[in-house]
Amino acid sequence: MATITSKPETLVGKRIRRREDPRLITGTATYLDDIQLPGMHHACIVRSRHGAAKIKSINIQPALDLPGVFAVFTGKDTEKVGPVPCGASLPGLRVPHHHLLAMDRVYFVGHPVAVVVATDRYVARDAADLVEVDYEPLPAVTDPEKAIAPGAPPVHPEWPDNTAFTFHQEGGEVDKAFAEAEVIVKERIISQRLIPAAMETRGAVADWKVGDKTLTVHASTQNPHLLRSILAAMLGIAENRLRIVAPEIGGGFGSKIQIYAEEALMGFISMKLGKPVKWIESRRENFMGTIHGRGHVDYYEVAAKRDGTILAIKLKLIQDLGAFHTLLTPAIPTLSVLMMPGLYDCKSIRADIVGVFTNCMATDAYRGAGRPEATHGIERMVDILAAELKLDPAEIRFKNFVKKDAFPYSTATGLIYDSGDYAAPLQKALDNAGYKELRAEQQKARTAGRLMGVGMSAYGEICAFGPSPATPAGGWESATVKIEPNGGVTVMTGSSAHGQGHETTFGQIAADELGVGMEDVQVLHGDTSVVQYGIGTFGSRSVSVGGPAIYYAIQELKEKIKKYGAMLLGTDDVSYANGTCIDNKTGKSMPLAQIAAASYRAMQLPPNTEPGLVATYFWEPSNFTFPFGAHIIVTEVDRDTGAIAIKRYVAVDDCGKIINPLLVDGQVHGGVAQGLGQALWEQVVYDDNGQLVTGEFMDYAMPRASNMPWIETSHTTTPSPVNPLGVKGVGEAGTIGCSPALVNSVVDALSPLGVRHIDMPLTPEKIWKLVERGGKA
Amino acid sequence: MTRKITLTINGAKRSDSVEPRMLLIHYLRDVAGFTGPHIGCETSICGACTVHLDGKAIKSCTLFAVQADGRQVLTIEGLAVDGKLDPMQEAFWNEHGLQCGYCTPGMIMTAKQIVERNPHPTDEEIRHGLEGNLCRCTGYQHIVNAVRAAAGKA
C-alpha cells in the first residue's frame, strides 16, 4: 500500500516544476508517431498542386502496381463519408460541401485528392508520386479584397461573389457620435495569415477491430470527445463503438481543435481494409493542409473628442476564410467584433464583417482566435488617435479605461466583463519600464539622430470558453475524482492537455482541496474510454472551466468522506482537513486511506450512502472570464538595415488568481513569441495562382532563440468572480498583448519621419524602405 | 536492396539490414525503437531529431542510416544513467524549459553540445547555439535559463 502523506501546506500559488516532465526529458513519452500496431499500414495523401483546377481524370493503376501498395482511394470511394464539418452557424452562412477527398475540382494547394495505403511509409510516399492526376488549371484568387472585387474568379462557381456571409453588429448611437465627434481617425490595418506550426504535426492511427466492430483512433487532437462525436457521425458508427486516444500531443495552438478529413479517412481505410493504418502529416502538408490563423483586412474609424475621449468605433472587417470552412472558421471574426472596444468605456460600436472565400487553406482558431486581431486594431487606433491629438499614449488609455468600480461592466458588444482594474497593470508596466526616463532617453536619441521607440498595449481578452449557449458544442467541462481503495487520488478531466501542464496544475488544485500530497494525485486525460465526456482544451479554458469542475467534484466527495468518517469514528460531528477526518468532540482522527478502504470494503455503510468514493461533476460557467494586462516594448530601428532591436520587453498580465507562477511565465513567454512572430517575421504568402510560397520552415520565419528578447514578466491579481478558484486564463495573453505594443513601438520610433501606421510583419526590408523614402510607404 | 550496418546506440552495439535511402531518424525510431528523437520537418531546419553522432550534435533527418555505419550514436534515451538524470535534463525540468516536449529531446542534445564546447556560455552564446532548434511553446527564455543553470555541471 502506498504511503499517503498528509500535507498541511498549500500548493496552489507555488512555483512547482511539472510532473509531466520526467517522461518528456527522457524521450520516453508516447507521441502519435511513436505508436506501432501489429499489421499497421501507412497512408500518404496525394494533394493538389494547383490553387484551382478541374480534375479531368485520375489514374491510380501505376501506384497500385508498385509492390507493397495495398490500396488507393479517390473521391468517388469516400463520397458517402463525411463531410468535414463546420460547427459555426451564422445567418445565411454559405457552407460548401467539404468532401474528404476532392471530387471533380480542387480549391486550394494541398487539397487532398487521393490516398495511398502501403506496407511502409517510404513505399506509400513513392506510390503517391505515381498517382496520375490530370488537371485543367483554373484562375485562382488568394487575396480577400481582390476576391470580392467585380470580375474575380469564383472560388465556388455557385457563389460568384465569393462571399460566404456578411455579419452586422451594432450597439449605442454610432451615427450620432460620429456627427458630434471633434476628431475622426481612420486606418486600414492588416492582421496577416499565419501558420500555427505546432512542432508535432497532425496525424492519426486508426484501428478497426472487425470482431468487436469497434474503432480506435489515436489522434493528435485538443478535444478527443468532440472528435469522437463528429467522427462517429462522419463514419456512420455508434459513438460508443469509437474510442479516441489523444496520446502525448506536441502542441496545438488551436490547429488541433478542428476535425480534419485525414482523421476520418484513416477510420474509413481501417474499416475498409481491416488493418490498422497510420498517417503522419509532413511539415509541408502541415503548412498547406492544417488551418491557418488571422487573415484580416480591417478598416477602422474612431470618433473622439479633442481631450481624447473615445466616442464610437466603426469596423469593416474583411475575413479571408479560405476555400472551405473548418470547424470554427466563420465564427472567429465574430470574436474580434466582441472584443472591438478593448478595455475602453466606449458604448457605441458598429461592425460589418464580410467573410470571403479564397483559393487558400481555411483560416480558423490560432492562439487568440479573433482577439489578437481585435486588440491589434483597437490598440493601433488608440495610438493613432493619441498621435493625432498629440497626447501621450499612456494618458489616452488611462482616460478611456473602464473604471475599476464599473464591474461587472456591460460592453456595447453584449459582453459582461467580470472584473478588472485596467489601470493597474499599465501603471505597473510604466513603473517597471521607467517610462519617464525612457521618454527622456528617447529625446536624446532623437537629437542624436537615432530611431528609438516606446510602444505599449493595454489588452483584454475573452477566456474560459464558455457558457454553453455561447459555444457551438457545449462550454462546460467535466471531472471525475476518485479516491482509490488505498487512498490514492485519481482525477479524470475532460480537458485535454497538449503542453499546458494539466497534470501539474490540476494536481495542485486536487491536492490542496483534499489535503493530500501531489504525489498521491494522478491526473488522467485524453482517452475517451477512460475519461467521461468532456469538451477539451482551447480558448484558455482549462484551469478556468476544467479546474472548477475538479473543485466541485471534490466538494461532493468531501461530504461523502465525512459521512464515512463520522460513521467510522462513531461521532456526528466531523470535519475534514489535511487528508484526515477529525471528530470535533474528541479530537480522534482517521486518515483518508483508512476511510477509503472502509468505503470500498463496505462492511458497514453510512445511511443513504453508496460504497466507494467517486464523484463526477459537469461544471457550467455563468460567464466568460476577462483577463487583461499591459505590455511595453522599447525598440531601436537601424537606419542602415531596417533591422529592429528590442531593447526592453515589459509584460504585466492579470490572469486572476495564479495556480503555478512558473507555468504562467511559460505561457506568457510562449504567447509573446507567437505575437512577436506575427509582428516581425511570420506571414503566409500565396501567389496569384494560389501557390503557397511559404511552404516550409525555410520560407516561413518562425522565431528562434537568438531573435527573442528577454521578457520581464510580472502580474497584478484581480480574481474572477465567475469561478470558485478566482482564475481567468493566460494561454493566449502574451500573443494578444504583444503585436500592437511592438508595432506601436516601431511606429513611435519612426514617427519623426511622419510614419503613422505600418502593417505586419515589420520586416527589415519594409522598414528600410520606409526610412529610405523618408517615411513614405 | 538492403545494406547491413553495425553501429552503437547509447552504448549497445547492433546490426540491421536497411535500405540505403532510409534516413537515420527513421532507422532510430522505427527499426531500433528509439522514439525519443522526433521528426519536426525532415529538412534539417527544426532540430527535433538532433542526436549525437561520434560526440557531435547532428540532425538525424538529413543523414542516411548507412552513414552511421560503424559509428556511435547517442540519443536522449542514453543520457540518464541508472535512472539518474543528466544535469541538462534536470535543468530543463527545474527551469520549466519545455511545454509540449516535442522539441525537447533535440533541444537537450543541442544544449549538451553548447556547454561541452563552452562550459560558461553567455546568454547570447546560448541563444546562438540554440539557433538550429525550433520551439513553438516556450519563447526560449526558460530554455536559456536551463542551459545557463546546467552549464558547468555537465
Of chain B residues 15-74, which have a CB less than 8 A from chain A? Answer: 19, 21-22, 26, 29-30, 34-43, 45-46, 48
Residue A697 and residue B140: Cβ atoms within 8 Å? no
- Contact at 8 Å (CB) between A695 and A285? no
Facing residue for A499 by CB, picked from B22, B85, B137: B137
Give ranges for CATH 3.30.365.10 in chain A: 21-29+476-619, 296-466+623-772
Q: What is the mean pLDDT of residues A685-690?
A: 97
Contact A332, A258 (CB under 8 A): no
Neighbours of A414 (CB within 10 A): 11
Among residues A489, A497, A613, the alpha carbon closest in space to that of A558 is found at A613
Q: Do residue A282 and residue B42 have CB atoms under 8 angstroms apart?
A: yes
Residues B10 and B74 in one domain: yes
Phi, psi of A190 (to 5 degrees): -105, 135
Q: What is the pLDDT of residues A226-258, one digit of tens each?
A: 999 999 999 999 999 999 999 999 999 999 999
Let me know whether B11 and B65 are in one domain: yes
3-state SS track over A108-170: CCCCEEEEEEECCHHHHHHHHHHCEEEEEECCCCCCHHHHCCCCCCCCCCCCCCCEEEEEEEE
The verdict on a CB contact (< 8 Å) between B139 and A708 is: yes
Supply the pLDDT for residue A777.
77
Average pLDDT over all residues of chain A: 97
The CA distance from A205 to A266, in Å, is 7
The answer to whether the CB atoms of B38 and A33 lie below 8 A apart is: yes
Q: What is the dihedral of CA A23, A26, A29, A32, to 10 degrees?
A: 150
Is the bond leading into A761 cis (omega within 30 degrees of zero)?
Answer: yes
**pLDDT computed for residue A8 by the predictor:** 57
A-proximal residues of B, 94-153, CB under 8 Å: 94, 96, 98-105, 108, 123-124, 126-128, 130-131, 133-144
pLDDT in tens, A281-306: 999 999 999 999 999 999 999 999 99
For residues B41 and B140, what is the distance between their CA atoms, to the nearest angstrom? 19
The answer to whether the Cβ–Cβ distance between A251 and B133 falls below 8 Å is no
Q: A21-29+476-619 belongs to which CATH class?
A: alpha beta
The domain boundary residue, chosen from B28, B49, B78? B78
Quick check: A708 contacting B, CB < 8 Å?
A: yes
Of B46, B76, B135, the CB nearest to A27: B76
- pLDDT band for position B84 (50/70/90)? very high
Least confident of A469-473, A543-547, B73-77: A469-473
State which residue of chain A sits closest to B47, comparing Cα positions. Answer: A199
Closest residue, chain A, to B134 (C-alpha): A704
Instruction: Name every chain A residue with its beta carbon within 8 A of the beta carbon of B38.
Output: 31, 33, 199-200, 250
**CB-CB contact of A592 with A514 (8 Å):** yes
- Residues B8 and B63 grouped into a single domain: yes
pLDDT of residue A3: 43
- Residue A673 and residue A368: Cα distance in Å, rounded? 13
User: CB–CB of B35 and A31 under 8 A?
Assistant: yes
Q: Looking at CA atoms only, how far is residue B11 from chain A in angstroms?
A: 16
Of A31, A666, A697, the CB nearest to B99: A666
Mean of the pLDDT values across residues A127-146?
Answer: 98
Of B37, B131, B141, the CB nearest to A704: B131
Residue A7 banded pLDDT, cuts 50, 70, 90: low
**Cα–Cα distance, A247 to A218 (Å, whole number):** 7
Q: What is the pTM of this model?
A: 0.97
CATH pick for A32-138+201-249+256-289 out of 3.20.20.80, 3.40.50.10190, 3.90.1170.50, 3.60.20.10: 3.90.1170.50
The shortest C-alpha distance from A126 to chain B (Å) reads: 12
* Chain B residues in contact with A198 (beta carbon < 8 A): 100, 102, 136
Fold entry, domain A296-466+623-772 = Aldehyde Oxidoreductase; domain 4 (3.30.365)
Distance between the two ends of chain B, CA-based, in angstroms? 42
Q: What is the pLDDT of residues A332-378, one digit of tens each?
A: 999 999 999 999 999 999 999 999 999 999 999 999 999 999 999 99
Contacts of A279 in chain B (CB under 8 A): none
Rounded Cα–Cα distance for residues A579 and A569 (Å): 15
Who among B93, B123, B133 is closest to A17 (CB)?
B93
Pull the grid cell for residue A411.
Answer: 460592453
Q: How far is B70 from chain A (nearest CA, A)?
A: 24
Nearest chain A residue to B21, by CA = A122
The answer to whether B115 and A61 are in contact (CB under 8 A) is no
Q: How confident is the model at residue B1 (pLDDT cuts 50, 70, 90)?
A: confident
Cβ pair B134:A499 closer than 8 A: no
Is A6's pLDDT higher than 70? no
ipTM rounded to 2 decimals: 0.98
Return the pLDDT at A776. Answer: 85
Tell me whether residue B85 is exposed, middle or buried, using C-beta atoms within 10 angstroms of its C-beta: 0 to 12, 13 to 18, 19 or more. Answer: middle
pLDDT band at residue A475 under the 50/70/90 scheme: very high
Q: Which of A371, A339, A358, A351 has its CA nearest to residue A299? A: A351
Question: Quick one: which of A95, A542, A171, A91 has its CA closest to A338?
Answer: A171
Whether residue B46 is found in the same domain as residue B63: yes
**Amino acid identity of A684?**
V
Dump pLDDT digits (tens) for A702-746. 999 999 999 999 999 999 999 999 999 999 999 999 999 999 999
Q: How far is A648 from chain B (nearest CA, A)?
A: 14
Helix (H) or strand (E) holding A637, with range, is strand A628-637
The 10s digit of each residue's pLDDT in A84-98 is 999 999 999 999 999
Whether residue A26 and residue B85 make contact (CB cut-off 8 A), yes or no, is: yes
Residues B71 and B92 in one domain: no
Same structural domain, B10 and B58: yes
A250 close contact with B: CB closer than 8 A: yes
Q: Check whether residue B54 and residue B22 sit in a common domain.
A: yes
User: Are B101 and B126 in the same domain?
Assistant: yes
Q: Do B100 and A710 touch (CB under 8 A)?
A: no
- The closest of A735, A738, A467, A754 to A621, measured between CA atoms, is A467
CB of A182 within 8 Å of a chain B CB? The answer is no
Rounded (10°) angle between helices A733-750 and A371-389: 30
Mean pLDDT, residues A469-474 taken together: 88
Judge contact between A686 and A142, C-beta under 8 A.
Answer: yes
Closest partner residue to B104 (CB to CB) among A24, A198, A500 is A24
What value does the mean pLDDT take over residues A373-399? 98
Shared domain for B117 and B146, answered yes or no, is yes
SS3 state of residue A692: strand
Question: Which chain A residues are closer than 8 Å to B94 by Cβ?
Answer: 17
Domain that holds residue B131: 87-150
Residue A166: CB atoms within 10 Å: 13
Closest residue in B to A198 (Cα) is B136
Measured between beta carbons, the chain A residues lying within 8 angstroms of B96 are 17-18, 662-663, 665-666
Domain shared by B70 and B91, yes or no: no
Pair A395, A405: CB distance under 8 Å = no
Which CATH number do you get for residue B122? Answer: 1.10.150.120
Of the partner residues B96, B105, B142, the one whose CB lies closest to the CB of residue A27: B105
Q: B63 and B28: one domain?
A: yes
Chain B CA closest to residue A29: B36
Instruction: Say whether B102 and A697 touch across the interface (CB within 8 A).
Output: no
